[in-house]
Structure 1
């Protein structure tokens, strides 16, 4: 069983996101964290990736695609959240009229 190593993961993600700097950390519990630092203030972090779920040659492509999909979903969620928050109400007040 071939686990993905740090350099292969970073290289594969960098190939798919050339404007991002990729930093991966392998943890003793067998998980992986990846920080993707993009242009200006565009950053994305994902933690708790179970490396044993990604074995073999196709694993790096699958992992990269899953991370990219999560980035897109996260951005859509943030955009939708901003669109649905009334501008005159603080984000941390829910259901209270002040």
Structure 2
């Protein structure tokens, strides 16, 4: 089966991820990058997608699931980082190292 075109991939992903505008870029090495722009400046980018691994509707559904999983993992990591961020140093004095 032929590899899907950029337009086909964008429309298939957009149909499966309806709250996001999907913009894809094809690269000379045969990989694909996808930028998903959602509501309230919620953006997510994924690069290095090997297009040759995704043929047909079933594979596009798998790609959409993989992207969703990466989005969830990324958000969980961001929340975790925020929860464990060091407190701001309110008593900082320039020139004082200790």
TM class by smaller structure: 0.7 to 0.9
Paired residue for 2:2?
Answer: 2
Q: Give the alignment of 1:8-47 within 5 angstroms.
A: 8-47=8-47
More helix by share: 2
Q: Are the aligned partners of 1:2 and 1:55 in contact in 2 as well (CA < 8 Å)? A: yes
Root-mean-square deviation (CA), in Å? 1.7
Q: Are the aligned partners of 2:16 and 2:61 in contact in 1 as well (CA < 8 Å)? A: no
Aligned length: 91
* TM-score, normalised with respect to structure 1: 0.82
State the 1:8 CA deviation.
Answer: 1.9
Structure with greater Cα Rg: 2
State the 1:36 CA deviation.
Answer: 0.5
Q: Are the aligned partners of 1:36 and 1:45 in contact in 2 as well (CA < 8 Å)? A: yes
Paired residue for 1:81?
Answer: 81
SS at match of 1:88: coil
**Structure 1, residues 42-79: CA drift from partner, whole Å, max 9, x if none?**
10001111111112341111111111111111011111
Q: Are the aligned partners of 2:17 and 2:64 in contact in 1 as well (CA < 8 Å)? A: no
- Give the gaps of 5 or more residues in structure 1: 90-96
State the 1:16 CA deviation.
Answer: 2.2
Q: Are the aligned partners of 1:4 and 1:60 in contact in 2 as well (CA < 8 Å)? A: no
Q: 1:41 to 1:56 in 2, by over 3 A?
A: closer
Q: Segments of 4+ in structure 1 off by > 3 A?
A: none
SS at match of 1:24: strand
* TM-score, normalised with respect to structure 2: 0.82
